[in-house]
């Protein structure tokens, strides 16, 4: 019985390693040559695995892209959530702005990642993450905290979810346009206005 457990552990670790290799290869190639120009053959060659192995983990190129976006988003959210918790800010509005500012700074320092996340992220991906808390715990945690606070502010759960959706879209679009193209201005110049609009959306006075 113990032998079987050890064998299963080795198999699991081997599968996790191959999946990690595929994620790393895909991320590097997406950054280097773009999503459209990256083929599955490129990914498996870079990862050093057989093409059939790819399909054990992913349906197609866009499946690994979507999961990669969620992994990267989850990491960014985890960092922002930890930083916000360490600040011990009591006001929900101030906590929200601190949290968003941390994410903006992260994206500003990683322009290539911003290009991948913003061009391909969708609310549908977040909904998938919400349905799989064991895989994307931080996305789920942030979503639950935000919606709970908005409900406490007097919103219905449906309105809170839609507000979160609008904030995700607003912050993502503003970051992408101002950081990548510096239009209509740079991110630091527009940030006070962005924060003012977000506070208005969550009905919290600064």
Which tens digit of pLDDT belongs to each residue from 172-182?
889 999 999 99
Class of domain 1-58: mainly alpha
Cis geometry, peptide bond prior to residue 134 (ω within 30 degrees of 0): no
Dist CA 63 CA 61 (whole Å): 5
Residue 190 to residues 95, 99, 115, 137, 174, Cα–Cα distance (Å): 19, 17, 19, 31, 9
Q: Among all chains, which residue has been given the structure tokens 């700074």?
A: 105
Q: How many CB atoms lie within 10 A of CB 68?
A: 20
Residue of 25, 160, 187, 159 lying closest to 101 (CA atoms): 187
Out of 44-48, 62-66, 98-102, least confident range: 62-66
For residue 86, what are its two tokens? 């360490």
The answer to whether 77 and 103 are in contact (CB under 8 A) is: yes
DSSP code at position 35:
S
Percent of the chain with pLDDT over 90: 50
Q: Write down how long the chain is.
A: 206
Q: Would you state the structure tokens that stand for residue 59, as one six-digit string?
A: 């349906």
26, 24, 160: which is closest to 92 by C-alpha?
Answer: 160
Give the confidence band of 10 by pLDDT, cuts at 50, 70, 90.
low
20-29, 85-94, 112-121, 124-133: least confidently modelled range: 124-133
Percent of the chain with pLDDT over 70: 83
How far from 130 is each of 92, 113, 123, 164, 179, CA to CA, in Å? 22, 22, 11, 13, 28
The pLDDT-based confidence of 41 (bands split at 50, 70, 90) is very high
pLDDT at 22 over 70: yes
Stretch (H or E) spanning 13: helix 2-33
pLDDT at 206: 46
Please provide the average confidence, as pLDDT, over all residues in the chain: 85
Q: What is the DSSP letter of 36?
A: T
* Whole-model pTM over 0.85: no
CATH number attached to the domain at 61-206: 1.10.357.10
Find which of 9-23, 38-52, 134-148 is predicted with most confidence, using mean pLDDT.
38-52
Domains of the chain, by residue range, sit at: 1-58, 61-206
Q: What is the pLDDT of residue 172?
A: 87
Q: What is the torsional sign of CA 191, 197, 203, 206?
A: positive
CA end-to-end span of the chain, whole Å? 61
């Amino acid at each position: 019985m113990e032998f079987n457990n050890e064998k299963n552990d080795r198999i699991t670790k081997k599968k996790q390693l191959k999946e990690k290799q595929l994620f790393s290869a895909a991320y590097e190639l997406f950054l280097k040559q773009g999503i459209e120009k990256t083929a599955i053959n490129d990914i498996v060659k870079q990862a050093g695995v057989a093409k059939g192995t790819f399909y054990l983990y992913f349906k197609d190129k866009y499946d690994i892209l979507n999961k990669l976006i969620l992994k990267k988003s989850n990491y960014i959210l985890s960092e922002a959530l930890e930083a916000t918790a360490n600040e011990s800010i009591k006001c929900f509005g101030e906590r929200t702005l601190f949290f968003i500012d941390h994410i903006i700074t992260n994206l500003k320092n990683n322009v290539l990642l911003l290009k991948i996340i913003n061009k391909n992220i969708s609310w549908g991906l977040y909904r998938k993450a919400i349905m799989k808390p064991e895989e994307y715990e931080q996305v789920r945690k942030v979503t639950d905290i935000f919606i709970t606070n908005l409900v406490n502010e007097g919103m219905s759960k449906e309105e809170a979810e839609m507000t979160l959706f609008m904030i995700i879209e607003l912050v993502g679009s503003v970051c992408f346009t101002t950081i990548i193209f510096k239009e209509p201005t740079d991110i630091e110049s527009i940030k006070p206005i962005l924060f003012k609009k977000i506070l208005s959306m969550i009905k919290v006075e600064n």
